[in-house]
């Protein structure tokens, strides 16, 4: 029972490089979310999706793009990485808006 799986777990990028973080869930959940976690700031929502083919902006969407081509996958892209995007990124999924979110173990991303 994998739940929510994030890849990669760690990554170091240089400023200006691009990359994609993958989130996969095997619970057939409709809703998926991407958060970033920074010291002293808790979790902040980047983007979310309420179903296959849909995406919406969260609290801190600038510099990120997302896609939900398949129900089980939610991709987070950084087109031109900046040091301010150094963070731990968490993906989560839920059955619906009012349901508890299930989290992956995170991706630690450092941008030099």
**Using the rule CB under 8 A, which residue among 24, 31, 64, 93 binds other proteins?**
31
Which residues touch 98 (CB under 8 Å, ≥6 apart)? none
Q: At closest approach, how far in Å is the CB of 58 from other proteins?
A: 6
Residue pointed to by tokens 């996958």:
73
Q: How many residues does the chain have?
A: 112
Q: Which is nearer to other proteins, 3 or 17 (CB)?
A: 3
Q: Which is nearer to other proteins, 56 or 112 (CB)?
A: 56
**Using the rule CB under 8 A, which residue among 25, 78, 104, 109 binds other proteins?**
104
Distance set, CA 25 to CA 75, 90, 99, 103 (Å)? 12, 13, 15, 10
What residues from 36 to 95 belong to the interface with other proteins (CB under 8 A)?
Answer: 40-45, 48, 50, 56, 58-59, 90, 92
Q: At closest approach, how far in Å is the CB of 15 from other proteins?
A: 26
43: β partners: 37
């Amino acid at each position: 029972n994998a739940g929510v799986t994030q890849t990669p777990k760690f990554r170091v990028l240089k400023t200006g490089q691009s990359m994609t973080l993958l989130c996969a869930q095997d619970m057939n959940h409709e809703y998926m979310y991407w958060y970033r976690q920074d010291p002293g700031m808790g979790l902040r929502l980047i983007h979310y999706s309420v179903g296959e083919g849909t995406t919406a902006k969260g609290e801190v969407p600038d510099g990120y793009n997302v896609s939900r081509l398949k129900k089980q996958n939610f991709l987070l892209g950084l087109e031109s990485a900046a040091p301010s995007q150094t963070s731990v990124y968490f993906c989560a999924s839920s059955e619906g808006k009012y349901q508890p979110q299930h989290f992956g173990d995170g991706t630690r991303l450092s941008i030099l």
